[in-house]
Chain A
Amino acid sequence: MENEILKEVTESEYKYGFITQIEQEYAPKGLNEDIIRFIWEKKKEPPFMLEWRLRAFRHWQSMQEPHWAKVQYPPIDYQDIHYYAAPKKHQEKPKSLEEVDPEILKTFEKLGIPLRERERLAGVAVDAVLDSVSVATTFKEKLEELGIIFCSINEAIRNYPDLVQKYLGTVVPYTDNFFAALNSAVFSDGSFVYIPKGVRCPMELSTYFRINASETGQFERTLIIADEGSYVSYLEGCTAPIRDENQLHAAVVELIALKNAEIKYSTVQNWFPGDKQGKGGIYNFVTKRGICLGENSKISWTQVETGSAITWKYPSCILKGDNSTGEFYSIAVTNNYQQADTGTKMIHIGKNTKSRIVSKGIAAGYSNNSYRGLVQISKKAANARNFSQCDSLLLGDKCGAHTFPYIDVQNNNSIVEHEATTSKISEEIMFYCNQRGISKEDAIELIVNGFTREVLNNLPMEFAVEAQKLLAVSLEGSVG
């Protein structure tokens, strides 16, 4: 029975694996200063960006790829990747949806992303990014009325250089780590959000990332600034076609919350995870970090990680402002030969700062699922409070679940608590359900649902549905 069910899971198809046939324009393979100039020219950026990119590139050359994470992969040849790929027809970003290549529109429709504004019912403003470029941003005008800037980062660099220059790289400097340096040198697009003082963003903002071209990497950069007293909820989704090769995705996300502001950042990551033999799939090396700069600010990360061959991702919060709050809710599901090393960092600097970590890992097949997190209470962070909970569920006896929390406390008026459990679905619970006439399948769904509920509850409505469906697909009856 167990084998049958496991087989079913491992054979469930990746729905988003199709390839869109459009003419693409590539930068030549490899990475050098000329490529960076090429990207800079393509993007028509102001000169300060070229300098910044080149500084990042030179720094990157002096760095070594990190290998401390609990993941294994063959060495990546950074010279064998196209660092820029764009649909040919989109030399310029189209002014309106009518100008967007119908093939691309079809692609996003197939993915269930409503780009057409007539589909207002969805109530989500979307920035759609295909490979290296943003192809469409919806609801722009409506948001502009409130003073909200929501556009591709490329447009932001050209139209709001002051804002970008003030904040870009302040949370994740290019010196931060190997992949952040690489991203800073070559990032091609991404989203930019600015919420002005006292504005509550009336709809969910969303970016949908799609890798289409082969032998490319996607390097996007997202920058979200919530000015004093504002609120924004931001969603991010990602998919990629089924390919034999491994593709690199190295993104950087920076969040800045000023006084009394709140940012809610949700991700449903569903990159192609590789086939059941572990061939292909996306290497997802992402640096995400937010800073609660002002008092009473709040940053909340929610992530559902189901895709990618390798996930290396630690959405973090720097709690600098007094009374600020950081939250991290995560579900990481790994199957087949997927490897995930994910977690968070909560750096408490301000007084009365609070953080909460809830991480649920589910490992099946031959996969390895690790939680790695740091809670640091600095000397000045009086009355800081942290609670962390990391639970792992093992489905099958070939997978692994690991927990590596780091706790570092430097004062005597803070409380840090960490707890973790690892287990499989106990026979007692299964028996209890079966006894009451609940079938094995339903019981597992019930238990997994309960196991992940705390995190799912924190997802915005639109995403919760998708996430639940995703979980159902990847875990359908996967325990015996």
Chain B
Amino acid sequence: MSLINKIDELLHSEFNILSSSFSNKEIIEFRRNNLEKFLKLGIPTFKNEDWKYTNMTFLNDIPFSFSFERPQLTQIVADSVLSFLNGSPSTILPIFNGKFIEGSAVLASDNLLVTTINSAFENGLSKEAIDDYNKFYNNSNPFIYLNFAMFTEGLYITVPSNTNFVQPIIIILGYSSETPFISSSFNFIKLEENSSANITVIFVNESNSKVLGNETLNINVGKNSNLELNILQTDLKNLITVNNVNVQLSQNSSFDSNTITLHSEFVRNNLNIAFEGQYGSVKLNGIYFVDTGNFVDNHTLIMHDNPNCISDENFRGILEGRGKAVFTGKIYVERDAQKTNAYQSNKNILLSDEARIHTRPQLEIYADDVKCTHGATAGYLDQDMLFYLKSRGVSHIKAKSLLLNSFVSENIEKIKFNELRDFIKQKLAEKLNLQDIFFCDSILNVSKDS
């Protein structure tokens, strides 16, 4: 039975169970509408331009189920985060199989308001808060509709006005299952005026069977506020990740994101950003590494609806083995959005003959007083540079390390969360089979060695 039929059946059985967790009639109706929209669109095929290189029809062959029970957080998932935090104080919010595990949560500060999305809806959050993001829910991404229809739980986080959160906030999206299932959480983050926060979303999977992690994160950055969002996806085996992030920026606000995807089986990141006010600034950085059996698709959309905003996008990829990666970046500049500066760059290094990269940097511009550029490259390790280094006594592996290091370090150094940055460096060195030289400061050691 195909997924569509399966979900259609759910409409009559499990969907009602799911809906019963809400007494809010409006939300039940909202879910039902979205379910219908999803059923109408179906699983995207390569005929859908936004999914041209990301065929999801294999989902139809997996006997998925939905799970609504509240599981216990497993040790593996809990440890995954603690492993690199080194005891530095942080707020940790675990979501496990689509449910918030309050008992395992750590709140480092009372200032942060955390509740579940379900209770937020019960306490008067109207569905307009979701509809506000309507411009991102176009017909090309049915997974958002599936998420709205089927989400089990999620977080509603408010950073109150005039607060600066120095300590990182970590959201764990963990999965564990012995049977194939679909996990969906819907999260909402709101930064009120003059606030700042550093949020890291970490995906962890310990399932032995296929899990579709279909997650949505809606973010609203208030006036004069700054948010840094890190998304970490490493070693996700058996997890089919569809990660939808929708961001709205108010006047004078900034949003920096780092999307790190290393060695994961199947990842699709949809990053949608819209400027709701003037003088906003967005930086989207990303690093991805794929090897045999890995797939990553970063799909970004930046909508310049207002004048005087800046966006800067920089994605770097290293492809090894039979890895496949896709990048689609769209910059959309509305007619009134004069004085827009938008930059986009996607660079790729292919280390193997079997790897494959598709990149589509796109500009759609309706205003004239703008500066927009995009660039994309796909290449290989420069043999001349390797030779240069080797002729000066640097071993092959060190030379390769140095070159790859310089390729990604620009993006790694942009991560402000120190522990996370070191963790990523370490992971990358491990993945690329490089020596510990992969730390930027160790460049000095090279000269000592030689």
Contacts and interface: CB of A to CB of B under 8 A. Distances in A.
Interface in A405-419: 405-419
Given A412-B350, A421-B372, A424-B369, A405 B361 contact: yes
Contacts of B368: 394-397, 399, 424
Interface in A361-394: 377, 379, 392, 394
B49 interface: yes
B4 to A, nearest CB: 23
A398 interface: yes
B353 A409 contact: no
Interface residues of A, number: 35
A458 interface: no
Interface in A308-335: none
B365 A418 contact: no
A405 B376 contact: yes
Given A400-B364, A402-B364, A405-B362, A422 B376 contact: no
B357 A422 contact: no
A73 interface: no
Nearest to B379: A415
A292 interface: no
A50 to B, nearest CB: 34
A391 to B, nearest CB: 9
A397 B338 contact: yes
A399 B333 CA distance: 12
B101 interface: no
A414 B365 CA distance: 31
A401 B380 CA distance: 32
Interface in B295-354: 319, 335, 338, 348, 350-353
Given A400-B366, A401-B363, A415 B378 contact: yes
Contacts of A413: 353, 380
Contacts of A403: 361-363, 374
A397 B307 CA distance: 13
* Residue in B338, B362, B364, B365 with the greatest tally of chain A CB atoms within 10 Å: B365
Nearest to A421: B373
B335 A394 contact: no
Contacts of B6: none
Contacts of A377: 378
A160 interface: no
Given A397-B338, A402-B364, A408 B370 contact: no
Contacts of A431: none
A397 B335 contact: yes
Given A402-B365, A411-B350, A419 B374 contact: yes
Most chain A beta-carbon neighbours within 10 Å: one of B356, B360, B368: B368
Contacts of A415: 377-380
Contacts of B352: 412
A42 to B, nearest CB: 39
A420 interface: yes
A412 B378 CA distance: 9
A392 B379 CA distance: 26
B378 A414 contact: yes
A368 to B, nearest CB: 8
B360 A405 contact: yes
B365 A407 contact: no
B359 interface: yes
B393 interface: no
Interface in A6-57: none
Sorting the interface of chain B by its residue count into under 10, 10 to 19, 20 to 34 or 35 or more gives 35 or more
Interface string A129-168: 0000000000000000000000000000000000000000
Contacts of A397: 335, 338, 367-369
Interface in B25-69: 49
B376 A407 contact: yes
A419 B358 contact: no
B345 to A, nearest CB: 9
A404 interface: yes
A423 interface: yes
Contacts of A379: 353
Given A400-B364, A407-B360, A416 B377 contact: yes
A36 B377 CA distance: 48
A406 B319 CA distance: 18
Nearest to A402: B364
Contacts of B319: 412
Contact of B363 (A406, A408, A409, A420): A420
A196 B261 CA distance: 56
B362 A404 contact: yes
Given A416-B379, A421-B372, A400 B365 contact: yes
A416 B361 CA distance: 13
A409 B361 contact: no
Q: Residue among B355, B363, B367, B380 with the most chain A CB within 10 A? A: B363
Interface string B163-176: 00000000000000
A420 B378 contact: no
A406 B360 CA distance: 5
A398 B352 CA distance: 46
Interface string B192-219: 0000000000000000000000000000
B372 A407 contact: no
A404 B374 contact: no
B371 interface: yes
A394 B366 CA distance: 9
A420 B360 contact: no
A418 B363 CA distance: 13
B375 interface: yes
Question: Which of B338, B348, B371, B378 lies at the interface centre, i.e. has the most chain A CB atoms within 10 A of its CB?
Answer: B378
Nearest to A416: B378
B362 A418 contact: no
Please indicate which of the listed interface residues A377, A403, A416, A422 has the most CB atoms of chain B within 10 Å of its own CB: A422
Contacts of B355: 412
Nearest to B327: A407
A395 B365 CA distance: 12
Contact of B359 (A68, A407, A420, A422): A407
Contacts of B353: 379, 411-413
Contacts of B351: 412
B365 A401 contact: yes
A109 to B, nearest CB: 40
A403 B364 CA distance: 6
Contact of B375 (A398, A400, A410, A419): A419
Nearest to B319: A412
12 contacts: A394-B367, A394-B370, A399-B366, A405-B376, A408-B357, A412-B352, A416-B378, A417-B376, A420-B361, A422-B363, A422-B365, A424-B369
Interface of A: 68, 377, 379, 392, 394-424
Interface of B: 49, 319, 335, 338, 348, 350-353, 355-380
- Closest 3 A-B residue pairs measured CB to CB? A412-B350, A394-B368, A409-B378
Given A402-B365, A406-B359, A423-B371, 5 more contacts: A399-B368, A406-B360, A414-B380, A417-B379, A418-B376
